[in-house]
Amino acid sequence: MQEFTIPIFISLGAFLMVVALRYLQNKENMAMIEKGMNPDENRRNRRQANPSQTLKNGLLFVGAGLGLLLAIIITNTLHLEGDSNTGIFFALIAIFGGAGLLGAYLYERKNPPPPVE
């Protein structure tokens, strides 16, 4: 009985989430129109990529990837198996991801982004 209810609830939940998001977006658009604003302009301004955030995300993922690669190399080299290698994976991903964010911070401190118009 439970095997059939889980996919039904997941599908129903996903459908209701999409409907609710569209409803709230429509409500937001109507409120903006009532205040004399153009919803398309506001949406276009929100979508513009922030170079600072892009740099942070890129360096975070590069660092996490390097940490994962190093963890795989270490576990294969030392022939670690089971639960003993899980800590190595999480630790190295966190360390290298943090190093990527630190690198983004240091780069932005030396080269501040231009002001947003």
Model pLDDT for residues 48-92, shown as the tens digit of each residue: 667 788 889 999 999 999 999 999 999 889 888 777 788 889 999
Residue 35 sits at φ, ψ, to 5 deg, of -85, 0
| Residue 117, domain member (yes or no) | no
User: Is pLDDT of 42 > 80?
Assistant: no
Percent of the chain with pLDDT over 70: 90
Structural domain containing residue 25: 2-45
Same domain for 26 and 78, yes or no, is no
| Token output for 17 | 């989430």
CA-CA distances (angstroms) from residue 116 to 1, 6, 48, 50, 109?
Answer: 56, 46, 10, 9, 17
Same domain for 69 and 82, yes or no, is yes
Predicted TM-score (pTM) of the model is 0.57
Q: How many domains does the chain have?
A: 2
| Residue 116, domain member (yes or no) | no
Lowest mean pLDDT among 39-48, 76-85, 88-97, 104-113: 39-48
CA distance 72 to 89: 8
CA distance 23 to 96: 41
Decide if 93 contacts 71 (C-beta within 8 A).
yes
- Residue 37 gets the label, from left (phi > 0), alpha (psi -120 to 50) or beta, of beta
CA distance 100 to 61: 8
User: Is pLDDT of 21 > 80?
Assistant: yes
